[in-house]
Structure 1
């Protein structure tokens, strides 16, 4: 697990809510505390769509909403005169990107054995913290996947010009 403090919060917020930097991540959950507390479950509700919509929009194999699909609603929750009191966003790496990570790192793990590679964002009292997490469907003492994921998150933040310490 990696824990980083984002040093330029305003820049990060612009990239998170106004840009497309995080759009390839899937949303596991989000909680926004403003004048009320708003909870968002990122689970895709396939019954909402017709079978034609599922096929044409490529949602048939998708279990979670992508950030790009939910971001406009989240932006509306925090937009206004006041800064949110707090928010928590839990992203997960998409299955396609999990497969890429495993291939690039030459890790002999079956993608179906990975329950999730997570990027957790927590904003509270002006401080923004970013932590990583991983969940496997089996027990292992080998931390190679976790360390690989941590390194990828660092590279991602650097590529996005997001300052952290």
Structure 2
């Protein structure tokens, strides 16, 4: 089975790294210290600090494990170094217009940094798959939860 690409921008990778370092280097050691202190207080069955601490430690360890796997599989792509800026590729900020001339601006980013509320959509989302490779003036059809829409590429921009 082919490996799934985990494209990510340098900024997105930096945020994953910072979260990993904060959990692994700061929060986890403090929690282990609290758990050790709570364990030394005797009966663990009714010790809230101990019970909550163990539960939170499992959550942190799961997140650290997930972050380390995502970082190991990361393919960091810098959109500012995109040689062909006339087409929509990873990292592009695209202005789209629908049939009713409603404009929407989206930036194609990695799955781990997508936030539709701020216009950052995963490069694997239906809208991103529809516009990848398009140039200004192209019209693409996309199937959205609200139904099929035709989107025209109005502008393409890359950082830098």
With the length of structure 1 as denominator, give the TM-score of the two structures. Answer: 0.25
Name the structure where helix makes up a greater proportion of residues: 2
